[in-house]
Structure 1
Amino acid sequence: MIVSPEEIRLRLPHIELAAQAYGPADGSPVIALHGWLDNAATFARLAPKLQGLRIIAVDFAGHGYSQHRPPGGGYALWDYVHDVLLVAEQLGWPRFSLLGHSLGAIVSVLLAATFPERVRRLALIDGLIPPTVEADAAVATLAEALRGRLTLATKRKPVYPSLERAAQVRQRGVGHVSFAAAQLLAQRGLMPVAGGLTWRTDSRLTLATPLRLTAAQAQAFVSALSCPATLVLAEHGLLVQRDGLDTLLAQAAINIERLPGGHHLHLDDEQGAQLVADCFNPFLSAP
């Protein structure tokens, strides 16, 4: 079931973000955060199935209808965390739950760990910690990122003749989404240009990350979680492919729900969305 959410704008001190609102105004507050290169439409199937919640699904900076960071800026994880805190301030929500998919789940974990007094519950979909590197790889990681920045001006975004063609390309991208899911993401993620359509996303989002957490640092954030947390693991998702996942989860106080489907199981089809909703409805509505 796909409904038409309310489109809202969130004017933060440093940037304006777009968002979609679902549910009753007096529902339990939830901020929903999407994955890398996706947008708020990733919750189009799931959000209508979550009951009694006021869900604000945000387009991260540089994604969807949100503004891009200013010239010279970047897209570090902690900048997203800061954005979400300011979104909560603007909404007047001293405490709220977080619903995050992939990158959105990672940002949710960082926020919940560092500001435990703000986060009531943590609902995660196929995401937990960012890719990590050990300390001796930091030099090469930074060098790769800076080389990418130097050549960014010469790169051009692809142009597609139709939304359907763009959706076909997105279908084969990160997470291998269904064509129906790719269409939903493309409808919010494309803009008209000469010759057709191209992605709204900021080209800087495709650059390598200049500084990554070590595995020990990532573990510290997971270990610091104090709110109730449920993680949906997709049987054919990206998270199950991570080395050391079982060890990490064994040391974390996180409820694990293993479901069939891929990385975008909450968006690929109605059945997958319902399975995720069945996990999160009792969890997010609990006192």
Structure 2
Amino acid sequence: MKLATLRIEGASAAVRVDSATATIIDGYTDLSDLLTDPEWKELARSASGAEVDLVGADYAPVVPRPGKIVCIGLNYQSHIREMGRELPEYPTLFAKFSEALTGPYDDVVVPAYAAAQMDWEGELAVVIGKKAYQVPEQEADTYIAGYSVINDYTMRDYQYRTLQWDQGKSFEKTAGFGPYLVTDYALGSRLETRVDGELVQSATTDDLVFTPSRLVDYISHIVTLQPGDVIITGTTGGVGHARTPARFIQPGQTVEVTIDGLGSVRNKAIVK
């Protein structure tokens, strides 16, 4: 099943994506709202609200208001190798703020003072479907609502000002997120990132060092994961700052991240 949050006539709605149309899940303004209901999956399956034509639909961030966004650094073997590091024993965790999220096809508007070293990071996102505390890995899949795609713009000069990465990862409305929440995705499909059509990242999602189930286990032994929380699982090799010479997103360029089975996000960089 595919779910989404659409902007409709100045408001938003949680919808079930059927094919060329979507069905509004009445009573829920977005997927953040829907996922707080323990019966969210059945409500989505049985929804019979108004139909929306998806041609030209305006997609909001798929889960617009997560209480927590937990990011994982250095989690693809290919990316770890290109950075010259050893495989980690534990996940590297850092936070992203919800204000960093934007729609999967929205322009990313970046202030000029932060635009010198914009980098691309195509990533798989995991969305939590029910309250998870001290969950063992073997049960973790039952706590995951589904998966989505995120285009995790990173301002490298801000990121490396200090040993803590958060400041380069949370610029306002720089992370295209969506278009769908897919409830039945399985690891192993192809993740690709393109800049103005040029392939710059390519891997399969089973190259992850720490799988979604292991991450739910690890994080939930630190803090309770709530419905609608998001785990961003890390990027693969091919990022711009690891190249020789380093390469960064230029004003006007479009970054597209695609994961087979989950769809694509596509954002154009506008510098102001």
**The TM-score by the shorter chain falls in which range?**
under 0.3
Q: Relative contact order: is structure 1 or structure 2 higher (C-alpha 8 Å, sep ≥ 6)? A: 2
* Greater per-residue strand proportion: 2
TM-score under structure 1 length normalisation = 0.24
Taking structure 2 as the reference length, the TM-score comes to 0.25
